[in-house]
Amino acid sequence: MGKPLKVGIIGCGAIIAQYLTNFRKLQDLELVAVADLDPARAQAVAEQYDGVRAVSVDELLAADDVELVLNLTIPAAHAEVALKAIAAGKSVYGEKPLAATAAEARTVLEAAREAGVVVGCAPDTVLGTGIQTARKAIDDGLIGAPISASATMVTPGHERWHPNPDFYYQPGGGPLLDMGPYYVTALVTLLGPVVSVTGAASHTRSERTIGSGPRQGEKVPVAIDSHVTGVLTHASGALSTLFMSFDAVKSKSPNIEIHGEHGSLVVPDPNHFDGDVQLFSLGADAWETLPVSAGYVDSGRGFGIADLAATPEGAEPRAGGTLAFHVLEVMESVLESAHTGSSVRISSTVERPAGVELTVLTGDVRELQAQEAAS
């Protein structure tokens, strides 16, 4: 792949705005083309971004100047679009999850391996200063050997704000597959791969009422479990407990909490790139906020692609397909366990991604030097 890495985007929905903001700041990435099933949406993006052309999906896949396809389609189309990009000789980076099912995701990774191209996948939130500062605290032994973790995501349902929430309540949706990638990816980044899971799940309503937009008041059927709990056993022996709900109203629990022999960490929201990391050490009187010590500074969606572009040839990107596949298998297995009542072994594994040193990819390098001096 060249430098800057030339990127084409397929899918011009709402999420593209965040990527465009950061593409303008990342010098190692160059957006050259966009495509969408609705040509007007692609054209609207191209008009906002100098030097970008709006094309059809087939034209984008055939374009000689597109080295990597950023796949921002709906989850049900992730595998189909990724396979087309790979068949065209393009590397691909997708929004989470890697595919609608682990079986589909496996075909994507196999096709990429045969074609000699690279697969990356969101979330790249784990590369920001929040999760990476917590990761460094663990690696530096500030809490001793990790024992357990808890991950909590509670919302009364996306239909309260999303004008078209249907897919959240169909197979491939639900709180675990929608928000779980952020949490499980963070847990694997912090504690390493998972070897087995046990799950339980339920749903309280058979339909949801859209609360905003032109379809306000319309009923949406619920075909998935909207409340999921699970226990993940990591290869290290640490145990993580998941609590993912579209049914409950609110929680005061930290998004992620890690407990070790000598201390505990409060980890910021894994759906964000930054946030405070708090440490309570054995024998201490109070929680302390740790200085930012690792991760991409002022990062956002798309930094995972920049990290991929900087990954040596033959090495797995930090936000790579192997990690995304492992996370997807873990989530699928939690749901399988919930339905069968038995624990499930995880067949895949992944190397714990290397930590990110405190790094500025945009702006003035003096910002980083000032932060290092302050810490």
Per-residue pLDDT of the chain (375 residues; tens, 9 = 90+): 778 999 999 999 989 999 999 999 999 999 999 999 999 999 999 999 999 999 999 999 999 999 999 999 988 899 999 999 999 999 999 999 999 999 999 999 999 999 999 999 999 999 999 999 999 999 999 999 999 999 999 999 999 999 999 989 998 889 999 999 999 999 999 999 999 999 999 999 999 999 999 999 999 999 999 999 999 999 999 999 999 999 999 999 999 999 999 999 999 999 999 999 999 999 999 999 999 999 999 999 999 999 999 999 999 999 999 999 999 999 999 999 999 999 999 999 999 999 999 999 875 433 443 444 455
pTM, two decimal places = 0.93
Q: What is the pLDDT of residue 363?
A: 53
Q: What is the pLDDT of residue 374?
A: 52
Q: What is the pLDDT of residue 325?
A: 98
Q: How far apart are the first and last CA of the chain?
A: 36
Distances (CA, A) of 145 to 28, 46, 140, 192, 264: 38, 50, 10, 13, 11
Residues paired with 152 in a beta bridge: 243
The answer for residues whose C-beta is within 8 angstroms of residue 252's C-beta and 6 or more apart is: none
DSSP 68-121: EEEE-S-GGGHHHHHHHHHHTT-EEEESSSSSSSHHHHHHHHHHHHHHT--EEE
Tell me which residue of 122, 168, 118, 76 sits closest to 327, measured CA to CA. 122
> What is residue 125's three-state secondary structure?
helix
C-alpha Rg value of the chain to the nearest Å: 20
- For residue 239, the tally of other CB atoms under 10 A from its CB is 16
